[in-house]
Structure 1
Amino acid sequence: MLELILRDDCRLCDEAIAVLAAARAGDFSSLWVDDDPALTARYGERVPVLRDRRGRELDWPFDVAAVRAFLAAAGGPAG
């Protein structure tokens, strides 16, 4: 399962969601950092960040090709 780490009112996060859809990344959960001081400290301005079930992370900026390569390396859907 993928997890997209994001913030409220984040234009780049909206773009990341569109990239995931274009890459046919499948279902993902959202992890909002705004109300969690530990997550805010860890991710700060890095968001959006895509994380897989093994804990690997793909930092923004990413495109369809990067998402597909990330998924392929994780053994997930690659389009």
Structure 2
Amino acid sequence: MIHLTLYTTQGCHLCTQLEGLLGQLCDEPVALTRVEISEDDALMERYGVRIPVLADDEGQELDRGFEAPRLAAWLAERGWLNDAAWEALQCQLEGKPEPREARGARMRSGRRYLS
């Protein structure tokens, strides 16, 4: 299980977007600890204009994680990215059809034959 901290505030639509992307792109379940920044002046000073901010167990942070390419790169650096899900999302964002594997295809002598 992946343990992450999300610095957020009530009603943050970008935080909701980030949570959706995490569920879609992570290759294992995510345990997300949400930290409400509006209740702490120091947290407001640090994160107020940067939320949502995602932090791993080592304290490495990612701001603007709602941008799918940034989140995918951050997850990939940690070995948590589901590559197939990322490829499918990229196709969706670019308006391209998702790649599909040929069904019933067999490889023989370096050639693909449909059966």
Task: Return the index of the structure with the highest Cα Rg.
Answer: 2
Deviation at 1:12, TM superposition (A): 1.0
> Which aligned segments of 4 or more residues in structure 1 are displaced greater than 4 angstroms?
none
Bigger relative contact order (CA 8 A; separation at least 6): 1
Aligned twin of 1:62? 67
1:11-47 Cα distance to aligned partner (Å, 9 max, x none) = 1111111111111262221111010111001111210
Unpaired segments of 5 or more residues in structure 1?
none
Q: TM-score, structure 1 length as denominator? A: 0.81
RMSD value over aligned CA atoms? 1.7
Unpaired segments of 5 or more residues in structure 2?
83-115
User: What's the % identity of the aligned pairs?
Assistant: 32
Number of aligned residue pairs: give it.
Answer: 77
Superposition pairs of residues 1-79 of structure 1, within 5 angstroms: 1-24=3-26, 26-60=30-64, 61-63=66-68, 65-75=69-79, 77-79=80-82
